[in-house]
Each structure stands twice: as structure tokens, then as C-alpha cells.
Amino acid sequence: MQNRKNWKRRVFDIIQVGNVSDLPSRAFDYTLAIAILLNIVSMFLETFDSLKSAWPFLSAVENVTLGFFCMEYVLRLWTSEYRYPMVSRGKAMLRFMISFDGIVEILTILPMFFLYGAVAFRILRVVRILHLFRINARMDSFSIITQVLKEKKNQMMFSLIIILVLMLASSMFMYALEHDAQPDKFQNALSGMWWSVSALLTVGYGDIYPITPLGRVFAVVLSFLGVLAVAIPTGILSAGFVEHYTRAQTAGDEDVKCMTIREDSRWLDMEREAVERDAGMALLMVSREGKAFRPGQDFRVRVHDKLIFWDDLNVP
């Protein structure tokens, strides 16, 4: 029984975010990334009539990769108790099924079993593109984007609210200015909204545009505001990337490494000594719920803990 439990834990470690020193885990990460890319490329190439002779091969590639996704989904369900160790096995399986990864995976493999040719289920095949986010979770260079978005989410939300307010205001304003001159174009506030979106985002489709003098003056003003509105989130993200790389460079110079524990981390509920052995580094400090402390002998890792390591196990 103990051997079966250890083997199950080993499977969980392999299919989760891999460790550089763990060859099977890294191999699984790369295999999954390749399967996702092959599946999406096959789906795209199947839309070309000129490649009709290659459709059987593309369909075979698609079915093989879908089979791999099915196997992965079953393994994740089977080992979900290690991903959510604080709940029972049944609740852990349910939590995985309703998680982002679980929903994307089940929507990806559904067309393989039910009405593959039906339009509704063919549309579900597009959901496979969301599998690309799985690669993002497994490659450090891409995961930086996710980290920056999480750190700057409040500023990004505020900038998006500003853009939304500008769109609503400009929509009503342009409707008031242009409705009498061209009622077929600016029929209601929604028509003005379509124009304000294209103007604020500097797209300018040209299907709806002002013809009155006041409307054109307002369009010029809104175009300038659109440039500023787009620049706000761009500046926030740029500053976030600069901050991230500055912290990474500073941490690297001091041999200090930080890691935030996710729900699928293999270190969940592990003691300090076990984490240090696995990481090969000394665990100096832990940040939990805004409070920093030195981990003691009774310390166990929890979700969202920020672990601060020193790259030397001999540190006192």
C-alpha cells in the first residue's frame, strides 16, 4: 500500500510543473508542450483545402495528441489529492474539474467522444488554443508575463476603467452630435460605442465617422485621448517588467532566490528540512499573509507562501 502511495506521489510530481533536476518531469513538460503545438498546428492546417491529401495524416496527429491529453486529464484527476492536500479526495477531484486547467482540458477532449462533426463541438476545438497557457505555466521566460500581470492587476484594472468611462462618454457625446446629421449611422448609443472603440483604440475602420464640424473636432480630441489611453496600460506593463528584471538581477547577485508556492507545488505541506533537501538551498525566510518569519522545526509549507532561499546549505 505504501509503495502504491509513493508511486502515485511520484506520478503527481512528474505531471506537475517540472524540476530542472528531475529529468522525467522536464521530459513530460516538453512532451506536453510539443503535443499542444502539434494539435493546434494540425487543426489549423486542416482548414486548407490545398492540403486535402494530408488530412488523414493531420487527423491521425490530432487523435494521438488528444489521446495524450485524455491520459493527462485522467492522471491529474487521479493525483488531485496531492494538488489540494487540505481537502478530501473527492473534493480535490471536484476542485480540479472546475479549475481553469480542468475546464480547458475537458472542453478540449469532448469533441473526440461526442458529435465530432457537429458545428457546436467543432467550435469547442478552438478551446485547444487555450492550452498554450499551459506552456506559459511551464516556461520561466513566459511565466514572467503572468507574474507581472498579477503584480500590476490593480493598476491595469484602473486603467481599463478609465478607458471604459471614456468610451461610454464619447459614445453618448458623438450620438448627440451626429444623430440628426446621419441617423442611419448613429442610430443609438451602441452605434456611437462602436465608433468610440475604433477611435480610442486608434483602429479607425472608416465605416462610421463624423461629418458635422463639432463631431470632427470631438473626433480629433478623442483620437489624442485614445493614444494616451493606450499608453497607460503599456506604461504600467513596461514598468512592471523593469521592476521584475531589476529584482531578479539583484537577487541573482546576492545568491538569494524567491519562490511563491502554488496549489500544484510538490512542496505543499512539506517540512523545512525536506524543502531544503529538495531545493538544495537554505530556507532563510517565509512571507505568509503579509508577515515574514524565520521557519522553525514545526514549519510546513502552505499555498501562497513566499519562500526566500540562500544558495548555500551551510548558512546558519
Q: What is the pLDDT of residues 283-298, one digit of tens each?
A: 877 887 767 777 765 5
pLDDT of residue 313: 46
250-267 average pLDDT score: 70
pLDDT of residue 4: 63
The model's pTM: 0.53
Position of cell 512571507?
Answer: 287
Q: Which domains does the chain have, with CATH numbers?
A: 2-138 (1.20.120.350), 153-250 (1.10.287.70), 255-310 (3.30.70.1450)
Output the nine-digit C-alpha cell for 174. Answer: 458623438
Output the nine-digit C-alpha cell for 172. Answer: 453618448
> Above 80 in pLDDT, residue 121?
no
Determine how β-strand 306-310 pairs with β-strand 256-260. antiparallel
> Above 70 in pLDDT, residue 247?
no
> Above 50 in pLDDT, residue 93?
yes
Rounded Cα distance between 276 and 129, Å, is: 37
Closest CA to 108 of 79, 77, 129: 129
Reported confidence tier of residue 316, pLDDT bands at 50, 70, 90: very low
pLDDT of residue 20: 55
Output the nine-digit C-alpha cell for 95. Answer: 476542485
52-61, 118-127, 289-298: segment of lowest average pLDDT: 118-127
